[in-house]
Amino acid sequence: MHRSRMNGLLIDCKIDDIDGAARFWAEALGRPVDPAHPGSRGNYRMLETPPGELSVQIQRVEHESRIHLDIETDDIPAEVARLEKLGATVDKRMARWVVMRAPTGQRFCVVRVQRPGFPAGATTWD
């Protein structure tokens, strides 16, 4: 038995200036950059997350710009196995997360629990 829920959006940006990218998305979405958040470091900037809502994080990447979503879980191997049964495939196993590809083509990540409040809104899988 394990649990998972959608964690949030990652806005992958192929740009040099991560702070400029974060400023654009902060202003566009009306969610200020949260510089004190542990998710704001290196190539990442976290926007402020209203309680109970999905997070939005800006990431500097080398591949083309896109948006992907993260699923957070208390058991990454079990969640990856569940998603494989649904038709997703493993794209890359990282030290702390797994990049998967949906049968519809989009990449997404399975990550450890990130947002406060877990397991509120999570689904329990047997």
CA dist 49 and 28 (Å) reads 14
Chosen residue from 35, 77, 87, 116 binding its own copies by CB under 8 A: 87
Does residue 25 bind its own copies (CB under 8 A)? Answer: yes
Rule CB under 8 A: say whether 37 interacts with its own copies.
no
Please give the structure tokens belonging to residue 25: 């998305």
CA of residue 19 relative to chain centroid, distance: 19
Taking the complex as a whole, how short is the minimal distance between the CB of residue 96 and its own copies, in angstroms? 20
Instruction: Give the shortest CB-35-to-its own copies separation in angstroms.
Output: 19
Distance CA 80, CA 63 (A): 23
User: Using an 8 Å Cβ cutoff, are 110 and 80 in contact?
Assistant: yes
Secondary structure class of 20 (helix, strand, coil):
helix
Q: Least distance in Å: CB of 39 to its own copies?
A: 17
> By CB under 8 A, is residue 43 in contact with its own copies?
no
Q: Does 16 bind its own copies (CB under 8 A)?
A: no
Secondary structure of residue 12 in the 3-state scheme: strand
Binding of residue 98 to its own copies (CB under 8 A) = no
Residues 63-82 that bind its own copies (CB under 8 A): 64-69, 71
- 126 vs 117: CA distance, rounded Å: 21
Query: Cβ distance 43 to 60 under 8 Å?
Result: yes
Give the residues lining the site for its own copies (CB under 8 A): 4-6, 9, 11, 13-15, 21, 24-25, 27-31, 50, 52-54, 56, 64-69, 71, 83, 86-88, 102-106, 108, 121-123
